[in-house]
Amino acid sequence: MTTTTSPAELEHAVSSPARSGTVAGGARRRPLRLLLIVAVVLATTAAGTVAVRELGSDAGDADLEAMPVTRRSFPVMIREKGELKAANSVDVKCQVEGRSTIIWLIEEGTEVKQGDLLVRLASDQIEEKVKNEEIKLTKAEAAAAAAEKEHEILLDQNASDLRKAQLALDMAEIEKRKYLEGDYVQTINDIELELRRAKKVLERAESDLVASKELHEGGFISMADLANDEIKHLEAENALTKARLKKEIEEKYNHPKLLQQKESDVEEATKELARVKKSNFAKQEKSASELEAKKAELALIRERLAKYRQQQANCEIRAPQAGLVVYDTGHSRWDRRQITEGAEVYERQSIIKLPDPSVMVVQVRIHEAKTNRIERGQPARVRVEGIPDEIFTGKVTKIAVLADSQNMWLNPDLKEYETEITLDQSHALLKPGMTARADIIVDQVEDVLAVPVQSIFSKAGHHFVFRDRQGDCAPLEVELGVSSDEFVEVVDGVAENDRILLAVSEDMRRMLPDVRPVVPPGGAGPPADAKTKRPGGGGPRKAPGKSSGKIPRKTG
């Protein structure tokens, strides 16, 4: 019994020379897998099993169909399976702190407009926090208002105290100037006047006494009159002495004392003014600090209240843009999250994806052995399961820089790169998550000898065609180059216009020669020193560009 193996399944077994080296390198990293492959090939060879393509029932001699080998041009493609996703998609996340419960959820698959309600979360606890903060806000506003009034009163009192202290200093300085320029001068003038008067009185008394003595000697006045004049003279001398002493006391004692008192008053008033200024500054700073603390507390409560109100508003999640509702249940089957009413969600968790289906991309995973043939801008054809009669066109728009390690736990040696193909058309039936098969056209082979893929029969890694020469059919080993889904390049083994069979009978299949399996020293695939030759012995052939397409063959 024979089976048919698709080109995608055989891609790593047979390829162009550049491709073979990559496969062999990968095989050396997987000796266990290669050992199993070699064992299967050896068992197949020992049993004489021939790898062929089944075309319905066995073909009889009358059903054999032959066609000539011709030169053709065909595209070289990489076929991968992936899924659709929107080029532009917005993650709708939970913005409520902690964990919240979904109490209402829009139905998945609904097309929504910007602003439509998507999710409603439980908000009981947040509403309680809002009420508590509103009470705190009222108290804080009252405290801040009182502190502001007290601060204004303090500023007014400080200004009054400062004016009083300044007035006291001004009065002290005025008193000092008044004493120096007025009181002291007036006192000195009075004493000087009194001193001059005393001198004049003394001079008169002395003159009267002299005259009285002469008159007494002449017998003109009595002894009593002379005694009176002597008393007046003594009184005049005493008055002069008293005036002189008064001036001395004023200048030596009273003036320094009063001046020192006035200067002390000025100094004390100056210090009092400085003390009032410092006291005012300290009181003002303290009051301002208390006022700022009250205001800061008020601002903090307002901020917290605004935050809780925003959290309350965040309990109703609305669409940031128009799109199709898709529940975000995780990236893989090992990371599944339940998105349903009653489920708990946490902050920053993505609940819904809103893809914009106007521009769709196909996301495929390209094995590292093929990435050297993929470039941005390469055209692609896409078939979507569910829309079988439609073929979409697109081009490669994104190639991951690093390999995706999502499935490395299954196969640590598997390295694949996420690649995106942007579709040129939109379609009402295209939905994110739909399975798609993409044919990426990596090269265009021009004017080479080519045969249909169903005409190639393989055995133990060797490839054969059945050449028909006037009814005489025999297997002929060929060397293959690049291939598409329909045609494969024949590098060596046949010539142009040779006629080959597209199907053979069971008896003809048994004509395939026994050959040794093609196993390179380092692993599976063609030998490292194998050369691909052009028909006619043109020497080694280099695949054009990056073409090293899939080589379909038959296995048994």
CA 125 to chain CA centroid, Å, is 30
CA-to-CA separations, 115 to 102, 133, 331, in angstroms, rounded: 19, 29, 26
State how far the Cα of 150 lies from the Cα of 18, in Å rounded to an integer: 88
Identify the weakest region by mean pLDDT among 122-136, 228-242, 445-459, 513-527.
513-527
Q: Residue 178 and residue 113: Cα distance in Å, rounded?
A: 91
* 214-246 residue pLDDT tens: 888 888 888 888 899 889 999 999 999 999 999
Q: Is the pLDDT reported for residue 525 higher than 50? A: no
Give the per-residue pLDDT at 161.
Answer: 95
Neighbour tally for 375: CB within 10 Å:
13
Mean residue pLDDT of the chain comes to 80
Q: How far is CA 93 from the centre of its chain?
A: 15
> Radius of gyration over alpha carbons of the chain, in Å?
59
Which DSSP string corresponds to 139-204?
A: HHHHHHHHHHHHHHHHHHHHHHHHHHHHHHHHHHHHHHHHIIIIIHHHHHHHHHHHHHHHHHHHHH
Cβ burial of 333 (10 Å; 0-12, 13-18, 19+) is exposed
Cβ atoms 432, 86 nearer than 8 A: yes
Q: What is the pLDDT of residues 411-431, one digit of tens each?
A: 777 888 899 999 998 887 888
Candidates 86, 21, 91, 80; CA nearest to 418 is 80
Which neighbouring-strand residues pair with 392?
382
Domain boundaries defined on the chain: 7-88+352-509, 95-121+316-348, 127-312
Higher pLDDT, 318 or 62: 318
**Whole-model pTM above 0.75?**
no
pLDDT on residue 335: 62
For 346-358, what is each residue's pLDDT tens digit? 999 999 989 888 8
Distance of alpha carbon 259 from alpha carbon 267, whole angstroms: 12
Closest by CA position to 119, among listed 101, 102, 95, 97: 102
SS3 300: helix
Instruction: Place 25 in a pLDDT band, splitting at 50, 70 and 90.
Output: very low
The architecture of the domain spanning 7-88+352-509 is: Beta Barrel (2.40)
Using the structure block, give the residue that is written with the tokens 């009092």: 272
Share of the chain above pLDDT 70, in %: 79
Q: Which residue has the tokens 């913005």?
A: 95
Spatial distance between the Cα atoms of 530 and 519, rounded to a whole number of angstroms:
11
Q: Which residue type is seen at 349?
A: Q
Torsion over CA of 32, 37, 41 and 46, rounded to 10 degrees?
Answer: 40
The fraction of the chain above a pLDDT of 90, given in percent, is: 49
pLDDT above 50 (res 118): yes
Residue 405: per-residue pLDDT: 65
Amino acid (1-letter code) at residue 98: G
Q: Is the pLDDT of residue 132 over 50?
A: yes
**Could you say which DSSP state residue 16 is in?**
-
Token pair in block for residue 530: 């194998």
Residues 6+ apart with CB under 8 A from 552: 5, 6, 7, 10, 453, 456, 483, 485, 488
| Both structure tokens of 90 | 């917005």
The enclosing H or E element of 211 equals: helix 184-217
Q: Which amino acid is at 67?
A: M
Distance CA 262, CA 249 (A): 18
Q: Rounded CA gap, 508 and 472, in Å?
A: 11
C-alpha–C-alpha distance, residues 543 and 76, integer Å? 11
- The count of other CB atoms within 10 Å of the CB of residue 378 is 21
Residue 69 sits at the vertex; the CA angle it makes with 74 and 501, to the nearest 5 degrees, is 110
**Average pLDDT over every residue of 150-164:** 95
Q: Which amino acid is at 510?
A: R
Q: What pLDDT does 532 receive?
A: 35
Count H helices and E strands in the chain, helices first. 8, 19
CATH 1.10.3470 fits 95-121+316-348, yes or no: no
pLDDT digits (tens, 9 = 90+) for 272-314: 999 999 999 999 999 999 999 999 999 999 999 999 999 999 9
Residue 497, burial from CB neighbour count under 10 angstroms (0-12, 13-18, 19+): exposed
The DSSP H or E segment spanning 124 is helix 124-178
- Confidence check: pLDDT of 36 > 70: no
User: Measured between alpha carbons, how far is 462 from 530 in angstroms, rounded to an integer?
Assistant: 12
Q: Collect all residues with Cβ–Cβ distance below 8 Å to 167 and sequence separation of at least 6.
A: none
Alpha helices in 337-419 (DSSP H): none
pLDDT at 333: 60
Give the model confidence (pLDDT) of 313-340 as tens digits: 999 999 998 888 989 887 666 667 889 9
pLDDT at 334: 60
- How many residues belong to the chain? 556
CA 11: distance to chain centroid? 42
Strand partners, 435: 83
Structure letter (DSSP) for residue 227 = H
